[in-house]
Amino acid sequence: MKVLVALAAVTALCAGGAIPTVPGDNSHYVEGESRYIWMPDGEGVPRLVDLQETAPEEDLLEARNGANNQYWLFTRQNQNNRQVLVNGNINSVRNSNYRANRPTKVVVHGYNSNGNSPMNPAITSAFLAVQDCNVIVVDWHRLANSNLYTTAVNGVPSVGQHLGNFLVWLVNNVGGNWNQMHLVGFSLGAHVVGNAGRQAGRRPGRITGLDPAGPQWGGNSRALNRNDGVYVEVIHTDGGALGIFDRIADADFYPNGGRNPQPGCWISPCSHGRAPDLFASSVRTNHFVGRLCSNINQATNNQCTGNQHRMGNGVIGKRGSGIYGLRTGASWPF
């Protein structure tokens, strides 16, 4: 009887959607309807998220404050030891290895992650392996690791605006070239870099969104879009679940159909996390060749045969437009 009562209570709590029981299985998910979804933490472990849970007002106020961002600089002179740059503290930059005549890459993590999550060293080391550049890893873990996904979502615009203000201050006071600046963001981080580009007057030469977060972002005016930088590119790997599936950039790539399962993956969080892996590999090898599609259905079914366009890589002066499909492998370098 106690078990039945407990089950009844759970059922009552789940009004609007049943709790999925298989970790990582998001096959039930319907945007705008489902209440629960499995999301990966910084290590890729699935965590169940209630999309309808609301935060106390004080948490929402905190979520709108991106002043807690940290900016970690890595260069070929300090590949494994971060140097912390502080917005408004010019000595923190002058005493670092930042050089204004180098290209600058900015890397932003997603939900339930931090600056040390595996995607950051993977992408950072890839950039530094092929180019003498400044890599700035943005740590926004105080908001990204909020107990509530909605709180993190609400914090994205502020995090992005503070990042944009920091980059404007950096270029204006220490130097740098907007045409040599490349912003890269994964999941919620993709929307962060979109807001940063907007705040910086759409001047960054390139923005790359790695499977931009989907839940609560459909029709959201704060989402990453093609007008946030000079050239905006998106890699979709878990479209329709943890990632946005619609075309939102200048060039949208749909490797292996752009949905779960990606080769070598069985669950949605794995496919979502494949985007930063593909990007890190592309920076090192530049071997992913997309083919232009006539429409998104061709991309979904891997039937694209049009002109070629390289997916990913670190070429800041890259340009292109359209929907692209391609196939990749199941393991590194894919």
Q: Which residues, 6+ apart, have CB-to-CB distance to 262 below 8 Å? A: 237, 238, 255, 256, 270, 271, 274, 328
Residue type, 186: F
First to last CA, the chain: 52
Known catalytic membership, residue 211 = yes
The single residue of 117, 158, 187, 268 carrying the catalytic annotation is 187
298 residue type, one letter: Q
Find where tokens 């180019």 sit: 131
| Residue of 141, 191, 272, 309 with catalytic role | 272
- The radius of gyration of the chain's CA atoms, rounded to the nearest angstrom, is 20
Is 109 marked active-site? Answer: no
Question: Which is the catalytic residue, given 34, 113, 117, 211?
Answer: 211
Whole-angstrom distance, CA of residue 78 vs CA of residue 230: 30
Cβ neighbourhood burial of 65 (10 Å; 0-12, 13-18, 19+): middle
Distance set, CA 233 to CA 72, 210, 255, 333 (Å): 24, 9, 13, 20
Active site annotation includes 272: yes
Q: Which residues are known to be catalytic?
A: 187, 211, 272
